[in-house]
Amino acid sequence: MSSLRAAWPHTRIDWLVQDEFADVVSAHPALDSVVRFPRSRFRGSLRSPGRALSALRWAASLRKGGWELAIDCQGLARSAFFARCSRAGRRVGFADARELGWIHYNQRVAVTAPHAVDRMMALVDALELPRVMDMRLYVPSDDQGWLREHSASPRGRYAVFAPRSRWAAKEWPEERWSELALNSGALDIEELILVGSPSEAPSIERLAQVIELERERRGITNAPRVRVFAGRTSVGQLMAIIGNSSLVVSCDSAALHMAVGFARPLVALYGPTDPAEVGPWGYDSAVLRDPSASGSGHDYRRGKEPAPSMLALSVDQVLERMAIAVDRESP
């Protein structure tokens, strides 16, 4: 987006995004507006003729945008179809877009780069524009205000833990997150903030209880206070929390990539997903992945328990990386 704005300072630039994630891009200064895709409203369209008709009407309304260029950075059937529905005269996407999405483009770009960011930037190259490698995210003003003014928002020096992922194979065991929390008092962290989606909130609440019970049982007095924000924030509020944190520790999840967007000290726990494809771009030294790890693409969807490569990561290894990350941030 920054590349487009730098090349075309007076052109209207809009971004079509799933409505629940709109806050991620809505405050970006290079963007004119967000086109919100109400995915939840159309869920189950294949089983409901009424919903299917409503979804098609919404897609058809995209032609009213008057766009001359549509760039599909996702490369799936749905996103490619929306590009076609825009009626843009130039529709650019990946030559190997999944689910036959490539059939909707009239400019197909062959890309060999493995990482998602580099693949997207290859689409900029295809437009013959200079690359602007700007990964910054921007918090909507209301959400930044919430962080400053809301009595329940984090204060002082705090770390963010994102212990869950949509896929179990990418997760680190609960008991190790507990040990990590109990042993992180030496890092001068006042609070640990646990974040996650609403569906992850019950398990994260349980983790907080485990940490507290173990703290009391062992008589540990220097462990940071633990607070749960999972399922209690909007996406914009989550961005504000991460953007003002002193450290983020996360498995392969959205919180990790938000930390990159705010240039936060980071420890990224990887196993069955390949950081060369989906790692924190520009933060190679923040990635902790066991040498035995393998897998790419969608291999991580096969397991219902943490992958062996995630189990190979020890608490001591993560604590060591946390200390390095915090030390680099210190003045």
Burial class of 190 by CB neighbour count within 10 A (0 to 12, 13 to 18, 19+): middle
Per the CB < 8 A criterion, the answer to whether 272 and 303 are in contact is yes
Burial class of 24 by CB neighbour count within 10 A (0 to 12, 13 to 18, 19+): buried
- End-to-end, the C-alpha distance of the chain in Å comes to 32
Dist. CA 322–CA 176, nearest whole Å: 14
- Tokens (6 digits) for 305: 């328990």
| Per-residue confidence band for 263, with pLDDT thresholds at 50, 70 and 90 | very high
Quickly name the fold that domain 2-126 has.
Rossmann fold (3.40.50)
Q: pLDDT tens across 9-29, in order?
A: 999 999 999 999 999 999 999
| pLDDT > 70 in the chain, percent | 96
Q: How much is the pLDDT for 304?
A: 78
For 33-47, 235-249, 298-312, which range has the lowest pLDDT when averaged over its residues?
298-312
Question: What residues does CATH 3.40.50.2000 cover in the chain?
Answer: 2-126, 141-329
pTM of the model: 0.91
Q: Which CATH class is domain 141-329?
A: alpha beta
Nearest to 59 by CA among 79, 82, 40: 82
For 65-69, 108-112, 186-190, 246-250, which range has the lowest pLDDT when averaged over its residues?
186-190
Partners of 18 in beta bridges: 37
Q: Residue 203, SS3? A: helix
